[in-house]
Structure 1
Amino acid sequence: MIYTVGGIKGGSGKTTIATNLTVYLAKQGRDVILVDADDQESATDFTSFRHQSLEGELGYTAVKITGTELNSNVARLAKKYDDVVIDTGGRDTVSQRSALSVSHVYLVPFAPRSLDIWTLRKVENLIAEMSPFNPNLVCLTFINKADARGTYKEDTADLLRESQHVKFIDTPIGNRISFANAAASGLGVIEIKPTDEKAVSEITELYNGIQNALKTSTEKKRFTT
């Protein structure tokens, strides 16, 4: 599978999702490569921290690729690895569009307090523009950095459910300090000690939600054809 984590607006925790997904897949015995396609190089920094913490035993492969050649390079890498996870950052870039042209899944996290309906529409426009180049792309959105209190999460979920271009999966990721603590050491939240059971459960549910959405999409395509 080729997963792209992206969007239009910054601050929604895309690198956190990309790196935790990479670690989660690797822990399932998958041979994974993490592609940093963001000029800010946050995923590369994460891998550097991980290299120091684990004395070089990353558990996955990491590369930096950007620009128009990203799709051809990723297509080549996908033949060698079980999964490719691409972190594209929070802007509409050539790299993100190039990644979407070869991806199976497009993951768009939204932070409740930063959600703007115009931002969602920009994401929808991007998907509509890329659809002719990759009609089988499965586009999923979910809530990230959710507060435990307040109605922000519910209000955001209602807006996301209305989208015709991205499927909302109800697997929110909380705004937990354990994610920041793990990232500072280049670790996934499933690896840190003491274990944050709620954070581990959220990452697990997100992965299962993605797989269920993919299964549903595949079955729907078989039915319609």
Structure 2
Amino acid sequence: MIIAIGNTKGGVGKTTLAVQLAIIRATAGREVWLIDGDRQGTAAAAIAARSESGKLPGIACAQYPDGPNLRAQVQQQRDKWDDIIIDVGGRDSTALRAALILADTLLVPFAPRSYDVWALDDMAVLIDEARSVRDGLRAVAVMNQADPGDHSTDNAEAAAAVKEVPQFIYLPIPIRRRKAFSNAGGAGLAVSELTPRDPKAIAEISALASAVFNLI
């Protein structure tokens, strides 16, 4: 399966989710290829830190911020992998557009803030464009960096707004702002690999992985 994690809005935690999902799948015995489609190379840096620490399982990672190169590499190598996870976005880029053509599923993280929700309109346009030239792209939106607790007005209002965007399937699995995610990300670790463990962070990301990879 090819999963693209992208948004034209920066700062919504795309790389954090990409790294977490890649490690979860590799730990489950899947052959995983993580592609960093951003010139900043944050995902590639996280995986390099993981490799340098000797943490297993190792994660194969490549950086292709140029859309034509990303598309060519994935087309050539897709049969070698069980799962390909592409981290793209922060702006409307050739890499993001290429990923939309390649992916089975697009996962769009958004924060429960007005600017982040409004930016989903830009993604909706790109999704429509991709669907005009290929069939079968599933687009799902997930709230990332959600406010703690179950009674946040901002969380509820953002979720309601996203449900009104017809291009997306809204996944009611909020990933909340937790220190475990930032601590794990910089070291190229899954939250389940941190000590001490954060059971809530582990449960949230595990539920997201299950939903995304079992999406029909």
TM-score band by shorter chain is over 0.9
Deviation of the 1:158 alpha carbon: 0.3
Which amino acid in 2 is paired with 1:87? D
| 1:151 paired residue among 153, 157, 177 | 153
Query: Which secondary structure does the structure 2 equivalent of 1:112 belong to?
Result: coil
Q: Distance in 2 between matches of 1:117 and 1:148?
A: 18
Q: Does 1:162 align with 2:161?
A: no
Q: Distance in 2 between matches of 1:117 and 1:154?
A: 12
Give the 5 Å matches for 1:23-102. Answer: 23-54=23-54, 57-67=56-66, 68-102=68-102
Q: Distance in 1 between matches of 2:121 and 2:191?
A: 31
How many residue pairs get aligned? The number is 213
Q: Match for residue 5 of structure 1?
A: 5
Deviation of the 1:115 alpha carbon: 3.9
Q: Match for residue 123 of structure 1?
A: 123
What percentage of residue pairs aligned between the two structures are identical? 37
Normalising by structure 2, we get a TM-score of 0.93
Q: Match for residue 174 of structure 1?
A: 176
Query: Which secondary structure does the structure 1 equivalent of 2:189 belong to?
Result: coil
Query: Which secondary structure does the structure 2 equivalent of 1:66 belong to?
Result: coil
Query: Which secondary structure does the structure 2 equivalent of 1:100 belong to?
Result: helix
Point out the structure with the larger strand share: 2
**Would the aligned equivalents of 2:33 and 2:85 in 1 still touch at CA under 8 Å?**
yes
Q: Any stretches of 5+ residues in structure 2 without a counterpart?
A: none
Q: Distance in 2 between matches of 1:116 and 1:48?
A: 30
Q: Distance in 2 between matches of 1:175 and 1:117?
A: 17
Cα pair distance change 1:59/1:114, threshold 3 Å? farther
**Would the aligned equivalents of 1:100 and 1:134 in 2 still touch at CA under 8 Å?**
no
**Would the aligned equivalents of 1:50 and 1:185 in 2 still touch at CA under 8 Å?**
yes
**Would the aligned equivalents of 2:114 and 2:158 in 1 still touch at CA under 8 Å?**
no
Q: Distance in 2 between matches of 1:75 and 1:188?
A: 28
Deviations 1:22-41, CA, capped at 9 Å, x for gaps? 00111111000110110111
Query: Which secondary structure does the structure 2 equivalent of 1:71 belong to?
Result: helix
**Would the aligned equivalents of 1:15 and 1:89 in 2 still touch at CA under 8 Å?**
no
Which amino acid in 2 is paired with 1:121? D
Cα pair distance change 1:24/1:124, threshold 3 Å? same
Q: Any stretches of 5+ residues in structure 1 without a counterpart?
A: 216-225
Q: Distance in 1 between matches of 2:115 and 2:52?
A: 35
Cα pair distance change 1:45/1:106, threshold 3 Å? same
Cα pair distance change 1:11/1:89, threshold 3 Å? same
Query: Which secondary structure does the structure 2 equivalent of 1:12 belong to?
Result: coil
Query: Which secondary structure does the structure 2 equivalent of 1:173 belong to?
Result: strand
Deviation of the 1:6 alpha carbon: 0.4
**Would the aligned equivalents of 2:111 and 2:117 in 1 still touch at CA under 8 Å?**
no
Which amino acid in 1 is paired with 2:58? G
Q: Match for residue 198 of structure 1?
A: 200
Query: Which secondary structure does the structure 1 equivalent of 2:167 belong to?
Result: coil
Q: CA RMSD in A?
A: 1.5
**Would the aligned equivalents of 1:33 and 1:62 in 2 still touch at CA under 8 Å?**
yes
Deviation of the 1:116 alpha carbon: 4.2
Query: Which secondary structure does the structure 1 equivalent of 2:188 belong to?
Result: coil
Deviation of the 1:195 alpha carbon: 1.1
